[in-house]
Structures are given as C-alpha cells and as structure tokens.
Structure 1
Amino acid sequence: MQGTNHISLSTVQEEGLLRASKHQRVQVLMEASELRELFFHLGDFYVVESAKVKDPEQQVITKEDYLKRYALYIDHLKTKLDSPEKDILSPLSVCFSKVLDCFYMIDVGNNKALIKQKAPSVFVQPFSFHYDSESASIFTGVHTKDRIFWGLEFSFPQMYQDPKTFDTIEILKDKQNPNTQLFKKLQSSLRKNTKPTSLNFSGVSKAFPFKLSQNSLAWVQDYPKLKQFNIQINS
C-alpha cells in the first residue's frame, strides 16, 4: 500500500472544502510494540501524510515507517526532560484510512504535492497536556513549552458537510463507511487494552480520560516530565 497512484490530482476549487465537527477522540500512551499490535488488529489501512508539502511518492508511507517514528518519539519521552522537537512531532501527524478515494492531491510545483481530504479519515497526532502548578490543574489543548506529551490522539468526526452538495452527513452512524469501521475498531481495541490515567499531584488524586497502556506502566513512574512536576501515577 505505497505510492499515490490511487489518489487523484485535483484542486480545492473542484473538490470544495471539507468541514467536519463534533469529533470523538481517543488519547493514549502506549509502547511501540503495543501500537504494532493495534496495527495488526486493525488490518489493512493506509498511512497518509495529509496537509504536508512533499514529494508525491512520499505522501503514503508504510505502517512500518510510522512505527519507527513512534518508537523514536517514545524513546525521547523515556530518556529526555526537554519536550520533543518538531522533527520528531510533525512526522507523527498523519491520517489513517481504509481507502484512498477520500483524498485528493494538489500539484504545488517543483515536483511537490499536497494531500487534502474530501471525506473524513482517522486523524492521528501527538497528544499532550499542561500542568499548572499554581492552580494544581491539568489542561489539554494548551501548547506550552513545558507540556507533557502522552502518546497519540486518534480523532474522527461525528458529522461532516459534503464539500460539493453541502449535505450534512452523520458519518459516525454510517456502519458501512470503511473509515467509520476503522475508527470504531480502534476505539474498541483501546477501550479493552488500556485504562484511564489516574494522576496524583499537589495532594490531589484525579482520573483523566486520556489512557495508559499496561506495558507503559513499567516506565511511566520514571517519566522525566512527570518527575519534573512531582506528578505520580496511581497504579
């Protein structure tokens, strides 16, 4: 499943703009070996470098390439206090899709192309949270220098507007849609094999929806970034 020979060349004017809303999200810290097991469970799917200007032949990568990127990211979290730089984080932002016909390719010149979506796929990106010591609170969606990275976030919309007809489509209810099936299978697997994260900080113990895998428990107590803020994991 490599190459972009099945992604059609088009334009935004021809395809319109994809607007999606009410995303469901799953955030999890797991080992690279566990991500590999998840990939095996999900079966065949494409890993697409959506929204990045790249050589057309580099826009669809192998699952093995993505696993190598993730392993580099996790190794950084285990061993370094500083947050990962863009060269580690950016390659992790991709789309997972069972089909390629939900994408189109824009020629941007100089033998480069940009992949855009015309229908939803599963969006994947690094996940992080921010610990505010003054209020003893944890916030997500805050991109601070000292944010704490916690694996990946997988997201998929409940609905989107068809870029051409402008009809509202409740895609998460469409059991026949291949990417709905992909996301629900991913969601179900992570629900079974991970647990919500319980943290202890500033004398407060609290559970959070972002998840922790069983194998990550072996090292996360020694996670340098958690130690920096004196945050403990409740096992």
Structure 2
Amino acid sequence: MKKLKLLFLVGIVTFLFSGCYVTKKSTEYYGIDTSGSKKIVYVIDISGSMEGKAETDLQGNIIASATSKVGNKIGNKIGGKLGRFVAKETNNQLTKLGKAKKELMPSIRGLSEDCFFTIIVFENRVKKWRKKLVAANSTNKNLAIAYLRALSSGGGTNISDALEKTFDLAGAGATDTNAGLGVETIFLLSDGSPTAGKITNKDKIVAKTTEWNSAKRVKIHTIGLGEDCDKEFMKKLAIQNSGKFIDK
C-alpha cells in the first residue's frame, strides 16, 4: 500500500513539474508574439549560473519553497536512485534553466506548421540543436522538447559566438535586402554578462551584431533572467535590432 501511495505521489510530481508545460501550447515567448514570424531561432544560455534558483515574487517564493520541500520529502521516502531522481527533477524545475525550459516548450508547441525553427544553446561552447532551421511539425517539436529536457547547465557565457552562429543561419539576407533571409526572428535569453568567446566586450558585441544585421531585416528580442543579468546590454541589443527587451 505504501509503495502504491509513493508511486502515486511520484506521478503527481512528474505531472505538475514536467508534463503540464511539456504539452501546453503558446503563441508567445515571454509575452512576445511568435505568430508573425516564420523563421525563428531560440538562443538559450545554459552557463553555470543558470543552475541558480529562479528569482520570483513572494507568492512564487512560497510555492517554490513548498515544491522543493515536497520533492525532497518524497525523494527521501522513496530512497535509492528513484528517490534521488525525484528530488533532483523537482528542484531542477526551480532553477533559471528550468524556468527557461518552462517558457520555451509551450512556445515551440505553439508554432504553426508553416514555421521553421531551431535552438542554439551556449556556455563556453555553442551548440546547435540542428544545423539548419527545420519545419515546425509534430515530430520536430517532440524532438526539440526531448533535447531541451536533457539540457543541463555549466561553463561560461559565450554570447558573441552564439549570435555569430545564428547569423550564419540568417545568410546573406541579413546584410543584403536582395538576398534570401534564413532567419527572421532571434530570441536571446541569458542571465548574465558575456564571459567567454571571441568577444566579451559588450559594446563590441552590440557593434558586431549591428554589422551582421546591417540590412535590419532580423529582429532580436532579448530576455534577461535575474538580477545578475546586464540589462542595459541586453536592452541595447534588442533596441538596435528592432526587438523588445523583457526583464525577468
């Protein structure tokens, strides 16, 4: 009987902190409409600082604290590998990376099938989920969400190389109005300042990005997570590239 009760609790925890946002659909990403763009790249910070607890309001802090306690309590009662897994998964949802995943998965689910997208993540290195943008069909959405769920944080913050690789996907259209454009919208999410990559000077990154986007055809929306994020830098990147800055 006790085992059945524990398994039931595990099921509830798994649903509340995983399934509900994995299956949810949204036509927004951090409040920014995604339906007007057909070629989207999500550029996500997975540096070590993203392992930190996500900042929130008083109500959110109370919920987060209760969630952590419940997860740890259930994990301790189960014991062994399964117990450690439950506790870890519950606490992972409370980190900045966990928060970013919760926002991103519904956005991907909500993309129309005539849209193309991909994901680029960065720490010291930059990793592309796919070499080029792929159709937003159900298969690719499921694969993208599986990829996101497996992501963990570590390393520095290589914003410059991440943006460079994103503009490689944009192609000649980013600098030439007569050429085809491979990327229409970039969503850049980070919780800090650049610490790794070819360029770490913030003003130089803004200038270089403006050069890569000289035709002003690519919108860059930026999302800053937490108090350690350089808001002025992220805001400048967005404003100079026809985008919005969201402070979270």
Q: Identify whether the pair has TM-score above 0.5, normalized to the shorter chain.
A: no
- Structure with the higher strand share, 1 or 2: 1
- Structure with the higher helix share, 1 or 2: 2
Structure with the bigger RCO (C-alpha within 8 Å, sep 6+) is: 1
TM-score by length of 2: 0.28
